[in-house]
C-alpha cells in the first residue's frame, strides 16, 4: 500500500509510532496547498519553501498532541499561517504601525467594485501582491484562507474593527490600481 491509500487518522497513527509512511503521506497530501497558503503571505519562493519545511517540522514534532484536533488539514493551515505571520513580523512588518482610526466602514461603497474583482482576477491578484505586508496579510487571510475578522484579529494581535479597516483600505488600494485599467468606467 502507498501513503495515498490511508486516511489522515491512519497516517497520524503511523507518525505516532515513528513510521515514515505516515510522515510521507501527510506531507504528500498537504504540502502543495500548505505551500500555496504560505506563498500568498511571503511572496518569495525560497522563503515559502523554508516556512513550509518549518511548518511540517513543527507539526510532526507535535503530532502526539493531536488528540484534541478534529481536522488535521485545518490545524496544519493554522500552523502555516501563524509561521507566515511570525516571519513577516520578524523580518518586515510591525502590524501596530498599520493601526488606523476605525471610521471608514462602508462609506463610498461602489457596487462596481465587486464586478471588478470578479472580472479581473489576474489584475486583482497582482494588486494584492503589491500591497504592503500588513494589508496583504489581512486580504490573504480573509479572501484566500476564509478566516473571520475575529480570527484574523487574534492572529495579528489587532481588533476585528482594525481588521475591517485594513481590509477596506486594502480594497481601496487595489481598486485604485484597477481603475487605471481601461476596463473600469
Contact between 85 and 54 under an 8 Å Cβ cutoff? The reply is no
The pLDDT tens digits of the residues spanning 59-86 come to 999 888 777 667 888 889 889 998 998 8
Query: What pLDDT, on a 0 to 100 scale, did the predictor assign at position 62?
Result: 87
78 and 149: one domain? no
135 and 101: one domain? yes
Domain boundary (43, 76, 91) is at: 91
pTM given for the model: 0.61
Q: Is 184 part of a structural domain of the chain? A: no
Long-range contacts of 105-114 (CB under 8 A, 24+ apart): 105/164, 105/168, 106/168, 112/184, 112/185, 113/171, 113/175
**Structural domain of 122:** 95-179
Cell of 103: 471610521
Domain boundary (91, 122, 147) is at: 91
14 and 68: one domain? yes
Rounded CA separation 51/77 (Å) = 12
Count how many domains the chain has: 2
Rounded CA separation 166/163 (Å) = 5
41 and 109: one domain? no
Q: Does residue 143 have a pLDDT over 80?
A: yes
Q: At what angle do helices 121-129 and 160-179 cross, to 10 degrees?
A: 120
Contact between 98 and 157 under an 8 Å Cβ cutoff? The reply is no
**Mean pLDDT of all residues in the chain?**
81
Cell of 130: 503589491
Q: Is 185 part of a structural domain of the chain? A: no
CATH code for the domain of 38: 1.10.1740.10
Amino acid at each position: 500500500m502507498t501513503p495515498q491509500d490511508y486516511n489522515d487518522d491512519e497516517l497520524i497513527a503511523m507518525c505516532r509510532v515513528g513510521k515514515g509512511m505516515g510522515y510521507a503521506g501527510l506531507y504528500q497530501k498537504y504540502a502543495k496547498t500548505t505551500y500555496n497558503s504560505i506563498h500568498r503571505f511571503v511572496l518569495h519562493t525560497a522563503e515559502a519553501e523554508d516556512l513550509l519545511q518549518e511548518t511540517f517540522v513543527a507539526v510532526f514534532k507535535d503530532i502526539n498532541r493531536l488528540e484534541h484536533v478534529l481536522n488535521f488539514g485545518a490545524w496544519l493551515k493554522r500552523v502555516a499561517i501563524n509561521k507566515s505571520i511570525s516571519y513577516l513580523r520578524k523580518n518586515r512588518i510591525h502590524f501596530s504601525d498599520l493601526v488606523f482610526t476605525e471610521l471608514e466602514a462602508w462609506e463610498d461603497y461602489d457596487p462596481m467594485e465587486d464586478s471588478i474583482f470578479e472580472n479581473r482576477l489576474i489584475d486583482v491578484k497582482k494588486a494584492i501582491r503589491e500591497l504592503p505586508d500588513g494589508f496583504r496579510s489581512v486580504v490573504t487571510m480573509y479572501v484566500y484562507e476564509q478566516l473571520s475578522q475575529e480570527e484574523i484579529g487574534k492572529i495579528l494581535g489587532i481588533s476585528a474593527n482594525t481588521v475591517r479597516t485594513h481590509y477596506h483600505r486594502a480594497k481601496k488600494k487595489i481598486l485604485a490600481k484597477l481603475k487605471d485599467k481601461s476596463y473600469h468606467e
